[in-house]
């Protein structure tokens, strides 16, 4: 990769400023040692939510709420975000961040629970966008069939850290996270219901559209 390509990517990550609530959530994430979508990855979530006018969104892996706030920034005013995290400390921090940002209680539900237990309770085809950002290597692949089931035709699947911090393209990298992401990318590639691309934004972002049928 050329040096100018590397500096282009760095530049795009800082092209837009984040809102004060998002910066606050990012700070809390840092204090708690929780990862968060990158600045560019967050901007992409906002744009995608706005592009599909996402009224019903699922965010798997709430963390301290950076992705939740970014999604809400792109959703219409009557949109509802469901965000799920297995760690009570994380859901607590995210709820506080959403409240501090002035998000009305009826616009978001932050659920404390394992995605594997919570997602099956959500309605088939009931969602416009599903974002997956879970740091347990086993989870993203396990979540994929549920995520596809939840999406309406034309709905969008977004998986953050899809390149496992840029390790996926390097065949020498065989840790559990990287292997799991390779398997997830292969499964998406082979799934006729999904039209997909991978963007080198942040730690890599998979974006796929659920096709009719
Ligand atoms: C990288 S952080 C999410 C960051 C968040 N999306 C953001 O941008 O602010 C990953 C999160 O996945 C959560 N997680 C890990 N395993 C999970 C599971 N089985 N179900 C739900 N959440 C899980 C972790 O507790 C952690 O908060």
Q: What is the mean pLDDT of the chain?
A: 95
* Distance between Cα 139 and ligand 1 center (Å): 10
d(Cα 47, Cα 53) in Å, to the nearest integer? 10
Could you tell me if the CB of 115 is within 6 A of ligand 1? yes
pLDDT band at 142 (very low <50, low <70, confident <90, very high): confident
**What is the pLDDT confidence band of residue 139, given thresholds at 50, 70 and 90?**
confident
Q: How many Å lie between the centroid of ligand 1 and the Cα of residue 83?
A: 10
Contact 139 CB / ligand 1 (< 6 Å): yes
Strands (E) across the chain are located at 56-60, 80-85, 108-112, 127-132, 151-160, 194-199, 205-210
Please state the rounded mean pLDDT for residues 144-155.
97
pLDDT tens for 4-34 read 888 998 899 989 899 999 999 999 999 999 9
pLDDT per position as a tens digit, 101-132: 999 999 999 999 999 999 999 999 999 999 99
Residue 208 burial (CB count, 10 A): 24
pLDDT computed for residue 137 by the predictor = 82
pLDDT bin (cut points 50, 70, 90) of residue 84 is: very high
> How many domains does one find in the chain?
1
Q: Is the CB of 135 under 6 A from ligand 1?
A: yes
Closest CA to 60 of 51, 52, 50, 68: 68
Mean pLDDT of 59-67: 98
**What pLDDT, on the 0 to 100 scale, is given for residue 163?**
95
List pLDDT tens digits, range 175-194. 999 999 999 999 999 999 99
Q: Is the CB of 113 under 6 A from ligand 1?
A: no
CATH code, domain with 134: 3.40.50.150
The whole-angstrom separation of Cα 22 and Cα 98 is: 9
Top mutation candidate among 22, 62, 73 for ligand 1, by most atoms within 8 Å of CB: 62
For 48-54, what is the mean pLDDT? 98
Domain that holds residue 71: 3-210
Spatial separation of the C-alpha atoms in residues 189 and 208, rounded to whole Å: 9
| Residue 3 confidence (pLDDT) above 90 | no
């Amino acid at each position: 990769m050329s040096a100018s390509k590397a500096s282009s990517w760095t530049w795009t990550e800082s092209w837009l400023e984040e809102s004060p609530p998002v910066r606050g959530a990012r700070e809390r994430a840092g204090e708690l040692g929780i990862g968060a979508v990158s600045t560019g990855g967050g901007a992409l979530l906002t744009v995608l939510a706005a592009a599909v006018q996402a009224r019903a969104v699922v965010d798997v892996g709430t963390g301290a709420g950076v992705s939740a706030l970014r999604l809400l920034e792109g959703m219409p005013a009557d949109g509802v975000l469901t965000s799920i995290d297995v760690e009570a400390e994380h859901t607590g921090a995210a709820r506080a961040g959403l409240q501090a940002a002035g998000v009305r209680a009826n616009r978001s539900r932050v659920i404390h629970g394992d995605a594997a237990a919570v997602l099956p309770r959500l309605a088939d085809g009931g969602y416009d966008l599903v974002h997956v950002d879970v740091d347990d290597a086993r989870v993203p692949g396990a979540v994929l069939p549920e995520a596809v089931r939840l999406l309406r035709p034309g709905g969008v699947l977004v998986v953050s850290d899809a390149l496992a911090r840029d390790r996926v393209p390097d065949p020498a990298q065989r840790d559990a996270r990287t292997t799991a992401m390779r398997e997830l990318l292969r499964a998406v590639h082979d799934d006729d219901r999904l039209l997909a691309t991978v963007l080198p934004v942040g730690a890599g972002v998979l974006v796929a559209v659920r096709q009719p049928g």
